[in-house]
Structure 1
Amino acid sequence: MNGLVEKMKLVRVQGTLPQLNDFLDACCMDGRFDLEPATRYMSDSLGYAALNEENPYPATRDQIETMAKEAGVELHKEQRHTDPPDEEAKAYLSDLLEQIDDLCAERQGLLDQQKLCEDGIAQYSHFLNLKVNVDEILDCQHVKVRFGFLPTEGYNKLMSNYADDPYILFVECTQTKTGYWGIYLTPREKALETDGIFSMLYFEPVHVPGAAGSPAEIIEHFKENLEVVKKSVDDVNARIAALWHDHEAKVQMLYDTVRYYAAMYDLRRMAAVKGSHFFCVGWVPAPDVEEIAGKARAVKDLRVTVDGPEAAGKMTPPTKLKNPWWSRPFEFFVEMYGLPAYGETDVTGFVALTFTVLFGMMFGDVGQGIVLALFSTFMWKVKHNDLFHLMIPCGISSTIFGLVYGSFFGYEDALDPLYHAIGMAGKPVSVMDSITGILMVAVYIGVVLVLAAMVLNMYTHARHKEWGEFIFSPNGLVGVITYLCGVDLASAYMGAFTFLPQVVAAIGMVAGLVLLLFAELLAPMVEGKPWKPAGGMGNYLMQSVFELLETVLSYLSNTISFLRVGAFVIVHASMMMVVFTLAGTPNNMLVVILGNIVVICLEALLSAIQGIRLEFYEMFSRCYKGGGRKFTAFNIKKA
């Protein structure tokens, strides 16, 4: 359920500058060697300094990418390369880019004409009922004409307030559901006043391209021009494609080459140099270190040293998560909270299981769960977003819990034939008839998950042989015993299930609280470390009392927080009851469908937020610190 972050090895490489590129090419281009600034790992007194060089290749790389973007083609990213481009190659690229720029400029001019024609057709189509020549009415010396749209409300006010005004004439051309397309005419000396009136009536003026003839004739003219322009655009696109086809192989090779050397120069900056010697350092996953070190040693005159993380001093290794396919999407949540520090337990598997179960419990509906799973699958295929990926198992979990609740798109009795067919009297759980039981189950789920988080914390301390924290931490062995005894006493008080005699539970809880009170004193003693309270024993006891009170309150609040899970189960069922109330009898299917859509969107969001909150605040806070930094080895194929 949980795993470890990938083990790392510290690799140091020393050699002379002529071998630096060979080393980087052999070891640092495939995403397995996380180079770090070497000066961080060296004393200033040794005289090494960072290798600062101007990188001459990004400009050429960007030039080729601009060229490909203008040509509308996609460049491939390969690791192959040739010798660095010389001045002849740069001149060749500049000439080719100029040719493509000229063709693109020609195409852009045609596209502007195409848009002008399309806009003209769209604008004049509103005025087809106008049977006069547009150029004639626009050229009138004494009459001002404006084309536009008048909302129905404005049109009604115009008819009621200005119908008798001899200086205002509105000619309707096309009527829509929201208003009228048309023109208004007014004497030029009255234009300013009339414009103000129509502005108050929310008249929306539109610009119509100047042309001769009636709107119908103008539209026909625009259509003829549009066909000519489109053919010209296709011709230019064909010329660009042909030009690119003729040069594609050479340009692609140049692109691979400049990408390679641009990356090489960026990696060279990680090296520390002194005279003609360089020093590089970085982290390699343990399974790959033998191969990487072997490649480095194959480069003549290189000295390679492989050490464990302890050799890095104060520098900590980067974190590389390693999870199976079923839990990998949930790395999204772990990274959101903070990557585990190197050596800390990776909780991705724990999150994958607990979040999926909690979400499904809160969002239990067979039909809605299937919709959520299918929609998330589609969006993940389209967007490749981890959030949609992890919602796929959540949708499946919702479907499973929907079978428990007997809910299918909110219909509580739709699955009864299924239950009867397998010999059951009815659905396993009727939500609205089991409110108290659901809330109690939610609390007990919280107890189990809080205990699981504590066990993960103990596991992490045991791996690092931190036996003091393993035993006396509030999330260690003493904390587990104290929490279990407290849960048993609370269950007995409420008349629920108990698993210990009450006297034993009371003694265990009191003893646990006493041990937690002196945990900071006892933990170092277990590990054989001396400890003396700062500020004296009195100050220590006062501080420990407040910390113990905070620990007890956290036990209580973390457990009670899981009531929200049960509450959301009830809320989900209640929202569907509201939908069916609004749908009436017999059900208005449109209301039922829209209601289900609203509930799916709203409840999925709320259930996800609640699940994340429980993970971060009620569980992560007990077993996980985070604060790790990501393993970021360069990979030229993905750069």
Structure 2
Amino acid sequence: MIEKMKFLSITGPKADIDRVVYTYLSRYEIHLENALSELKTVKDLRPYIESNPYKEELAKAGELVESYHELLPEHTDRKLKLEEAVDLIHALDSELKELTDKKSGLVGQRDELQASRDKVAPFNGLNYDVKKILGFRFMKFRFGRISREYYEKFYAYVYDSIDTVMFKCEENDEYVWVVYFVPEKLADKIDAIYASMHFERCYLPDEYEGTPVEAGHILDDRISAFQKEIDGIDKEIVEAISSRKDELVAAYFTVRTFSTNFDVRKMAAVTKHDRHNFYILCGWMTQKDAAAFQKEIERDDDTFCIIEDDHNNIMSNPPTKMKNPGLFKPFEMYVEMYGLPSYNELDPTILIGITYSILFGFMFGDAGQGLCLLIGGYLLYRFRKVRLAGIISCCGVFSTIFGFLFGSIFGFEDIIDAVWLRPQEAMVNLPFIGKLNTVFVVAVAIGMGIILMCMVLNIINSVRSHDMEKIYFDTNGVAGFVFYLALTVVLVLYMTGNALPATFILVVMFLIPLIIMFFKEPLTAIVEKKSERIEGGMGMFITQGIFELFEVLLSYFSNTLSFVRVGAFAVSHAAMMQVVLMLAGAEAGGSTNWAVVIGGNLFVCGMEGLIVGIQVLRLEYYELFSRFYRGSGRAFEPYGKAAGEQ
């Protein structure tokens, strides 16, 4: 269902806008519209231009809350005045900035030492003072690494033939770290030979004491000392936040509320008078809130409210606020995914809730698995408010019902009797077709009923939007409804062996709707009293009409057969569970492997449940929504109570 909306114009002295916002509007849900756009015909209006004085404090508070959200509660009952909130934000921001700057300096020094530590670590095998090596004057040295492949080739074929001393240090699966020494005069030649072996040089800074192992220990101690200081600062930051966590959250909500309230000016207009200026706010409220608001300001001499009932005098379209019973609220998610209904359109939430659950239950009929979906979905929705879980829980109800109708519980079909039929066994004889699975016939019959219902809904929506073509001449309008209803009745009579209506009646019921759909554009022009010019001539009009009519007949056929999948999945579900029980040995008469039964049930419940859910959603969107639903509405986005909630 869609809430009834009222359009309000609120006005008062310009200087009084903050009081009105804090006293009234912050406690109601109002969808504000730009007053200048709504009041285009009113002269001497200008925008309300003032910079937000709370912008800086809100940014600081938001940054603090975002940075330390894991230490803060989501809600608090603590309340702060604006001055207290601003003072707290500035004090805490200054304190934390000092600590974080100090921490950043220490982290930088620690990281530099860690980089040095990482550079010297691969040379732990060199048992010589690094600083002395770095001080050599007549002997060149090179620290670096070579891939294992080239190291072995170099050591086997080149090393003994050149004037160099190489010390092997650490190694792994890819590289060998080495230090080689070479006389200064031969350095260029030897370096070239090593370079040809893909030697990658490492440059060590001049800050090591002792051998690489000793230098590593010294660096580790210095790194640990810096880390200890960093940990101490982290502890101070946590204590600073934790000791004032409720105050910080309260300060953030206080400043956010004041900032949001101040930003109402962006939507307001102001009269152009020298002395007595007035603000004007325009927006939508629910009928209930509008009545309560108007009653509340009756004794307020500085605030005036006019409710506009004539929508022809309103520039904007009413926003959509859906209000459905709690059982169907999760299904609003599917409606929102397709598009919100416009204000004058039928809300399909209850329809999708009923049809989706029934079709899912039909395709996934198992009392045991359905009960698991019901309980699991309910608990998840109850404690985590996951809307998809609420949908799963509703589907679980009908899965359980159809499980009893099909006599299936966790795949076992010998525990309870089928109240209705067993999907794999039930067959029916049909004229012209022969034997056919009963669930296929029932699925198609359900589909035809749903299609007819959607045509009725399309006619209602079209009447509300005053669309003559879609009311009378469309494939889902009156003409299409009469044709498809006649087709449904004839099929039912024929399949049940009853006599068909007279030929004249069949001609009227089939031919006339097709002719109306063929000439829908000229007929619409006549009804709306507009001149209709046939583009391309009569020949092109007839040719195009024939192809469109053929497409319409083909779509009726394909859309109807699309519901066969409902019966197909009911059969396949039973077949999959039969395979699970066969693998578990439950059908062989021997001992049952319960691990296979449990695992198989979990697998089927998860995999087929997902597939069935997607297939039913496809049916909803393509076979139901496409017939009657426009989904061109805009969301009701309230300022005030919803915007200022903690």
TM-score higher than 0.5 here?
yes
Cα contact 2:405–2:419 (8 A) shared by 1: no
Matches within 5 A, 1:153-192: none
Select between 528-537 and 596-605 the one with higher mean Cα deviation.
528-537
Match of 2:187 in 1: none
Residue 21 in structure 1 maps to residue 18 in structure 2: yes
What is the CA deviation profile of residues 36-59 of structure 1, one whole-angstrom value per residue up to 9, with x for unaligned ones?
101111125612122122112121
Match of 1:273 in 2: 270
CA shift at 1:6, angstroms?
0.6
Matches within 5 A, 1:578-593: none
Inter-partner Cα distance in structure 1 for 2:209 and 2:480? 85
Taking only aligned residues, the RMSD between alpha carbons, in angstroms, comes to 5.3
Residue 240 in structure 1 maps to residue 237 in structure 2: yes
Inter-partner Cα distance in structure 1 for 2:460 and 2:156? 90
Quote the sequence identity (%). 27
Match of 2:643 in 1: 636
Select between 550-559 and 13-22 the one with higher mean Cα deviation.
550-559
Cα contact 2:36–2:269 (8 A) shared by 1: yes
CA shift at 1:446, angstroms?
1.0
Inter-partner Cα distance in structure 1 for 2:125 and 2:28? 67
Inter-partner Cα distance in structure 2 for 1:426 and 1:257? 61
SS at match of 1:6: coil
AA paired with 1:429?
P
What is the CA deviation profile of residues 615-637 of structure 1, one whole-angstrom value per residue up to 9, with x for unaligned ones?
11211122211201111111233
Cα contact 2:423–2:438 (8 A) shared by 1: no
Matches within 5 A, 1:27-176: 27-43=24-40, 46-71=43-68, 73-74=71-72, 76=75, 82=81, 93-105=89-101, 136=127
Cα contact 2:114–2:223 (8 A) shared by 1: no
Distance verdict in 2 for CA 1:541–1:65, change over 3 Å: closer
Match of 2:294 in 1: 293
Cα contact 2:128–2:212 (8 A) shared by 1: no
CA shift at 1:159, angstroms?
14
AA paired with 1:57?
Y
CA shift at 1:564, angstroms?
2.6
Residue 609 in structure 1 maps to residue 614 in structure 2: yes
Match of 1:429 in 2: 423
AA paired with 2:351?
F
Inter-partner Cα distance in structure 1 for 2:298 and 2:144? 84
**Structure 1 length normalisation: TM-score?**
0.73
Residue 328 in structure 1 maps to residue 329 in structure 2: yes
SS at match of 1:269: helix
Matches within 5 A, 1:374-385: 376=377, 380=381, 384-385=385-386
What is the CA deviation profile of residues 267-318 of structure 1, one whole-angstrom value per residue up to 9, with x for unaligned ones?
1111111231222111110111111123344433222111225254442110
Distance verdict in 2 for CA 1:5–1:274, change over 3 Å: same
Match of 1:204 in 2: none
Match of 2:625 in 1: 620
Distance verdict in 2 for CA 1:135–1:295, change over 3 Å: farther
CA shift at 1:401, angstroms?
3.6
Matches within 5 A, 1:226-375: 236=233, 239-244=236-241, 254-275=251-272, 276-308=277-309, 310-366=311-367, 368-370=369-371, 372-373=373-374
Select between 289-298 and 541-550 the one with higher mean Cα deviation.
541-550
Matches within 5 A, 1:202-601: 236=233, 239-244=236-241, 254-275=251-272, 276-308=277-309, 310-366=311-367, 368-370=369-371, 372-373=373-374, 376=377, 380=381, 384-405=385-406, 412=411, 415-419=412-416, 428-430=422-424, 436-460=437-461, 473-490=474-491, 495=495, 501=501, 503=503, 504-505=505-506, 507-517=508-518, 530=529, 532-535=531-534, 542=542, 548-573=549-574, 599-601=604-606
Select between 594-603 and 449-458 the one with higher mean Cα deviation.
594-603
Could you tell me which runs of 5 or more consecutive residues in structure 1 were left unpaired when the two chains were aligned: 175-179, 199-209
Cα contact 1:50–1:273 (8 A) shared by 2: yes
Could you tell me which runs of 5 or more consecutive residues in structure 2 were left unpaired when the two chains were aligned: 134-139, 160-165, 182-190, 201-207, 429-435
**Structure 2 length normalisation: TM-score?**
0.73
CA shift at 1:345, angstroms?
0.7
Inter-partner Cα distance in structure 2 for 1:115 and 1:364? 61
Select between 516-525 and 47-56 the one with higher mean Cα deviation.
516-525
Cα contact 1:39–1:50 (8 A) shared by 2: yes
SS at match of 2:569: helix
What is the CA deviation profile of residues 360-400 of structure 1, one whole-angstrom value per residue up to 9, with x for unaligned ones?
33334455545555665566567644334323323443444
What is the CA deviation profile of residues 26-77 of structure 1, one whole-angstrom value per residue up to 9, with x for unaligned ones?
3322351111101111125612122122112121112123234445543647
Inter-partner Cα distance in structure 1 for 2:310 and 2:129? 82
SS at match of 1:304: strand
Inter-partner Cα distance in structure 1 for 2:384 and 2:391? 13
Cα contact 1:170–1:182 (8 A) shared by 2: no
Select between 509-518 and 257-266 the one with higher mean Cα deviation.
509-518
AA paired with 2:509?
G
Cα contact 2:407–2:422 (8 A) shared by 1: yes
Distance verdict in 2 for CA 1:317–1:171, change over 3 Å: same
Cα contact 1:431–1:438 (8 A) shared by 2: no
Cα contact 2:88–2:248 (8 A) shared by 1: no
Distance verdict in 2 for CA 1:497–1:15, change over 3 Å: farther
Inter-partner Cα distance in structure 1 for 2:572 and 2:150? 51
SS at match of 1:299: coil
Cα contact 2:318–2:343 (8 A) shared by 1: yes
CA shift at 1:544, angstroms?
5.8
AA paired with 1:294?
K
What is the CA deviation profile of residues 523-564 of structure 1, one whole-angstrom value per residue up to 9, with x for unaligned ones?
788xx8645544499589747655544443332222122123
Distance verdict in 2 for CA 1:20–1:424, change over 3 Å: closer
CA shift at 1:241, angstroms?
4.8
CA shift at 1:356, angstroms?
1.8
Inter-partner Cα distance in structure 2 for 1:364 and 1:116? 65
CA shift at 1:10, angstroms?
0.8
Select between 262-271 and 564-573 the one with higher mean Cα deviation.
564-573
Cα contact 2:5–2:318 (8 A) shared by 1: yes
Inter-partner Cα distance in structure 2 for 1:158 and 1:395? 65
